[in-house]
């Protein structure tokens, strides 16, 4: 007769099943989404960090990259990228919103009129002492200074950008 040891339950955990990803972090349901949040007549570009798992996720930073920038009358040279420090936990079943409007405006060179670009966002996070990266869907944005005027998905561009590293 086989008597199970005290640790036999470990093999039944979801991340230990065969045919599944080997890491615990792969079991986390976490995704970043770009959104427009309207407050007091201003449309703000926001990064929603959605944690649908049962575990807390530590967010380190978000790397932003601008591609295909169409802007005139910039106050400074556009860098085309920006690293937004977040350094916050997102609890289980919670969402954290982070404003990206100023970061995009600075990376675009502080244009003095309307501008458009593709925005690529990569988020670095930690869960179960494992670091992971997740990319938000690429979006085409139109802005005037820090006010967002349009936000559209650009999935066709994601296929071309598979080789871009942050």
pLDDT in tens, 62-107: 999 999 999 988 888 889 899 999 999 999 999 999 999 999 999 9
Residue 8 lies in a domain: no
Q: What is the rounded average pLDDT of the residues 55-59?
A: 93
Residue 6 lies in a domain: no
* Rounded Cα gap, residues 52 and 64, in angstroms: 23
pLDDT of residue 6: 61
Contact indicator for 44, 150 with CB cutoff of 8 Å: no
Residue 9 lies in a domain: no
Model confidence at 156: pLDDT above 60: no
pLDDT of residue 16: 52
Residue 7 lies in a domain: no
Residue 2 lies in a domain: no
Confidence class for position 20, pLDDT limits 50, 70, 90? very low
Confidence class for position 58, pLDDT limits 50, 70, 90? very high
* Rounded Cα gap, residues 166 and 155, in angstroms: 18
Contact indicator for 120, 134 with CB cutoff of 8 Å: no
Residue 115 lies in a domain: yes
Residue 156 lies in a domain: yes
* Rounded Cα gap, residues 33 and 163, in angstroms: 21
Domains contained in the chain, number = 1
Q: What is the rounded average pLDDT of the residues 43-48?
A: 93
> Tell me, what CATH number does 69's domain have?
2.60.40
Domain residues for the domain of 38 are: 29-163
DSSP structural state of residue 159: H
Confidence class for position 24, pLDDT limits 50, 70, 90? low
Confidence class for position 129, pLDDT limits 50, 70, 90? confident
Q: How many CB atoms lie within 10 A of CB 46?
A: 19
Residue 19 lies in a domain: no
């Amino acid at each position: 007769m086989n008597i199970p040891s005290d640790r036999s339950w470990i093999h039944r955990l979801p991340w230990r099943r065969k045919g599944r990803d080997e890491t615990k972090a792969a079991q986390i349901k976490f995704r970043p989404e770009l959104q427009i949040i309207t407050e007091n007549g201003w449309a703000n570009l926001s990064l929603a960090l959605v944690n649908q798992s049962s575990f807390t996720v530590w967010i380190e930073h978000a790397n932003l990259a601008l591609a295909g920038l169409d802007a005139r009358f910039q106050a400074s040279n556009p860098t085309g990228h920006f690293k937004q420090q977040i350094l916050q936990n997102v609890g289980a079943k919670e969402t954290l919103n982070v404003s990206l409007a100023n970061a995009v405006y600075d990376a675009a060179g502080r244009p003095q009129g309307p501008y458009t670009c593709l925005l690529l966002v990569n988020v670095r996070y930690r869960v179960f002492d494992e670091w992971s990266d997740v990319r938000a869907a690429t979006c085409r944005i139109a802005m005037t200074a820090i006010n967002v005027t349009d936000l559209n998905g650009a999935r066709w561009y994601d296929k071309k950008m598979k080789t871009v590293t942050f």
